[in-house]
Amino acid sequence: MSVMQGGYKRKSKPSSDIPDSSLADMAFLLLIFFMVSTTFPKEKPRKLDFPDAEATQKLDAPRKDIMHIYLERDGTVYINDQPIPMDRVSDVVAPQYVATDHKLVVVLRADREVTYSYVDAIQKELQQAGAVRMTFYTNLEERVRRARR
Amino acid sequence: MAIMKKRNRPSGAIPTSSMADIAFLLLIFFLVTTVFDEEKGLPIVLPEQSNEVEVSQRNILHIVIRDDGIVELKRGESPSVSTVTANMIGDIWRQEVAQNPNLIAAVKTYPTAPYRYMIDVLDQLQGAKAERISLQIFEGN
């Protein structure tokens, strides 16, 4: 029985078009979000194996006041993608410390297996440059990360 | 004049059919290039170079990190040394600081010890809310 008796046959024809009038709006919304939140890194991130720590904190400093020092497993120091001899680190940090109005925070991104003598040498160089605020870059330990979720 | 007048009526509408394509193209570019770089770690303030302060031995907890990861503890002037693992430092610090609020943790690491052992100890100390931490290199007794 395809025809109903005593009434109008209702014709429900769904539109075959996908409504795409708001597509551009959505794309622009996402676009603006990513444009605003994107920061292009000044230096190439080095692939190092960082240590884990439960007490890892988020660093609360403006990006312009942060300086990264990479310390590789063999003790090589990289600042702004340039290898720097250990005894020259203070010469690179000192002008930056002055430029940031003494607000510089040095983030030491050292490989977890590097021997401590190199880390100590970096600390001495920073003290020499007067940049005493530093952070040891660590990853939040996996079990803490899971527990926080 | 027999020349036919050409009617050239410009369209009043702005062509917007390719707008979404352009927006998506840019969107994909930003999606691919965006990195949410998070700065994190264990913060510490180093002492000023010319700012050496004499501290009474009574207020120092010596924490020596050996190159095998074993931690030696020595309380102030006491000659006794106890060996512990890094994950016990937090509890030990809480007990010690409850007895002496002026306590300073003097963390001395062997020059040949991997950096992560020092981070393990620093992590425990910061987790136990230690504020007075001194990081040094172990130069023998």
B18-50 pLDDT per residue, tens: 888 888 888 888 888 877 767 899 999 998 877
Mapping DSSP to helix (H, G, I), strand (E, B) and coil, where does residue A53 land?
Answer: strand
How close A61 gets to chain B, by Cα (Å)? 9
Residue contact B46–A116, C-beta within 8 A: no
Whole-angstrom distance, CA of residue A129 vs CA of residue B104: 25
Question: Is residue A115 within 8 Å of residue B23, measured between CB atoms?
Answer: no
Whole-angstrom distance, CA of residue A139 vs CA of residue B3: 81
Its ipTM equals 0.76
Residue contact A120–B111, C-beta within 8 A: yes
B59-137: what fold? Nucleotidyltransferase; domain 5 (3.30.420)
B60: β partners:
B104
B46-95 pLDDT per residue, tens: 988 776 778 888 888 999 999 898 999 988 777 788 889 988 999 999 99
Whole-angstrom distance, CA of residue A3 vs CA of residue A1: 6
Confidence of residue A142 (pLDDT cuts 50, 70, 90): confident
Confidence of residue A63 (pLDDT cuts 50, 70, 90): confident
Question: Is residue B42 within 8 Å of residue A59, measured between CB atoms?
Answer: no
Number of other CB atoms surrounding residue B117 within 10 Å: 22
Whole-angstrom distance, CA of residue B102 vs CA of residue B97: 7
Q: Which of B64, B93, B119 to mutate to test the interface with A (most CBs of A within 10 A)?
A: B119
Domains and CATH numbers, chain A: 52-143 (3.30.420.270)
Residue contact A115–B115, C-beta within 8 A: yes
| Residue B4 pLDDT | 62
Question: Is residue B15 within 8 Å of residue A92, measured between CB atoms?
Answer: no
Per-residue tokens: B11: 């369209």
| Residue A1 pLDDT | 47
A64-119 pLDDT per residue, tens: 899 999 999 999 999 988 999 999 999 999 999 999 999 999 999 999 999 999 99
Residue contact A59–B113, C-beta within 8 A: no
Q: List chain B domain ranges.
A: 59-137
How close A119 gets to chain B, by Cα (Å)? 7
List Cβ<8 Å contacts ≥24 apart for B85-89: B86/B117, B86/B120, B86/B121, B86/B124, B87/B120, B87/B124, B88/B124, B89/B63, B89/B121, B89/B124, B89/B125, B89/B128
Of B16, B39, B46, the CB nearest to A127: B46
Residue contact B34–A38, C-beta within 8 A: yes
Residue contact A120–B36, C-beta within 8 A: no
pTM: 0.77
